A and B are shown apart, each in its own frame.
Chain A
Amino acid sequence: MKKPRYLDSFIKYPPNTSFEGRDEDERVVFLIRQSRLTLFWWLVATIILLIIPLFLMPYLAKLEYNGNFIFNGLFILSLNIFWYVTVFGFAFRHFLDWYFEVLLVTNKRIIDIDRGATVISEAPLSNIQDVTSKITSIVGQVFNIGSIVVQTASEQNNFEFHTVDNPSVLRDTISDIITKRQGDKYANA
């Protein structure tokens, strides 16, 4: 059996995943995150920040004035701990922002969880009129990364989800669910 990969940017039927306000008969069909390539720059920044104290701290420890060290060993230790805690905080926060910024497609609605799960919007699948995929930048064309725009019946409520992997495949998959859902609705009517 294939092990579920929780950190993937596209997960079908994500296990143990739910959201506030989920109905009992509602199931998350897709969980879509931004491409993992978007993590690249802050990973590089984190690595650089981790290396800096290796050069900086020995220099600070050797600083002296009138034959006395300016900073004692304990202060240098606290600076070291503080630096690495800050770097961890920087990396952790960026990771969380990526991890919690998702587009959920359930069997009833589409939910856009944005800005570290602080801005949430949703629309029932029956209200969705159009799903568009876009690959605009050169980098996007190289890595097959783009945006998905989900247009709803309401004028103000368009969902835009940027820097996703395989936007065409995602558009097709979301469209299939919506078509199926709307087909079921008309069949039952």
Chain B
Amino acid sequence: MQTHNLSFENIVGFGLTGVRIFVIVMMVIYVIYTVILFRRIKIMNQNLKTPYERSFIKLSKLHIFTSVAATAIAILAITL
């Protein structure tokens, strides 16, 4: 019975670690996406110049920053 409980706990622990790693991987992929979006916005602004050019760049930088911050917090939460 003791062995059974231990192995069940191991499975649960392994599953939780898997979930956490999955979340971190998704966050890292998303950070890469935000950088690609930033580059894309630069191309868009270059092809069509509008009054909101700077606002889009600022929003995109904020987007990158917050996604990096979320990833950093998640890594901290797992390692602490």
A-side interface residues toward B, CB under 8 Å? 6, 14-20, 65-66, 70, 72, 74-75, 77-79, 81-82, 85-86, 88-89, 92-93, 96, 99-100, 102, 104, 113, 116-118, 120
Q: Would you call A89 and B30 a contact (CB within 8 A)?
A: yes
| B26-57 residues at the A interface, CB under 8 angstroms | 26-27, 30, 33-34, 37, 40-41, 43-44, 46-52, 56
Cβ–Cβ < 8 Å partners of B52 in chain A: 6, 99
Nearest-CB distance from A103 to chain B (Å)?
A: 11
CA distance A81 to B48 in the complex (A): 32
- Residues of B within 8 Å of A81, CB to CB, are 66, 69-70, 73
CB distance from B59 to the nearest CB of A (A): 7
Residues of A within 8 A of B56 (CB): 96
Asked whether, in the complex, the Cβ of B67 is within 8 Å of the Cβ of A116, the reply is no
A16 B46 Cβ-Cβ under 8 A: no
Instruction: Known contacts A65-B12, A85-B66, A88-B63; decide if A77 and B47 are in contact (CB<8 Å).
Output: no
> Chain B interface residue count: which class?
35 or more
B binding-site residues for A, Cβ under 8 Å: 9, 12, 16, 20, 23, 26-27, 30, 33-34, 37, 40-41, 43-44, 46-52, 56, 59-60, 63, 66-67, 69-71, 73-74, 76-78, 80
- How many A-B pairs have beta carbons closer than 8 Å: the answer is 98
Alpha-carbon separation in the docked complex, A73 to B65 (Å) = 21
Among residues of A, the one whose C-beta sits closest to the C-beta of B5 is: A66
Q: In the assembled complex, how far is the CB of residue A5 from the closest CB belonging to chain B, in whole angstroms?
A: 11
The B interface, classified by DSSP as helix, strand, loop or mixed, is helix
B41 contacts which chain A residues (CB < 8 A)? 96
Q: Please tell me if the beta carbons of B63 and A92 are within 8 angstroms of each other in the complex.
A: yes
Contacts of A85 in B (CB 8 A): 30, 63, 66-67, 70
**Distance from A118 Cβ to chain B, minimum over Cβ atoms (Å):** 7
Indicate if the CB atoms of B37 and A93 lie closer than 8 Å. Answer: yes
- Residue pair A118, B43 in contact (C-beta under 8 Å): yes
In the complex, what's the smallest C-beta–C-beta distance from B30 to chain A, in angstroms?
Answer: 6
Task: Give the residue of A70, A74, A89, A117 whose beta carbon is less than 8 angstroms from that of B44.
Answer: A117
Contact (Cβ within 8 A) A120 B47: yes
Task: Flag if B48 contacts A100 (CB, 8 Å).
Answer: yes
Q: Give the distance to chain B from A108, nearest Cβ to Cβ, in Å.
A: 17
In the complex, A78→B69 CA distance in Å? 8
Whole-angstrom distance between the Cβ of A117 and the nearest chain B Cβ: 4
Q: Could you say which of B9, B48, B51, B59 has the most chain A C-beta atoms within 10 Å of its C-beta?
A: B48
Partner of B63, one of A72, A89, A104: A89
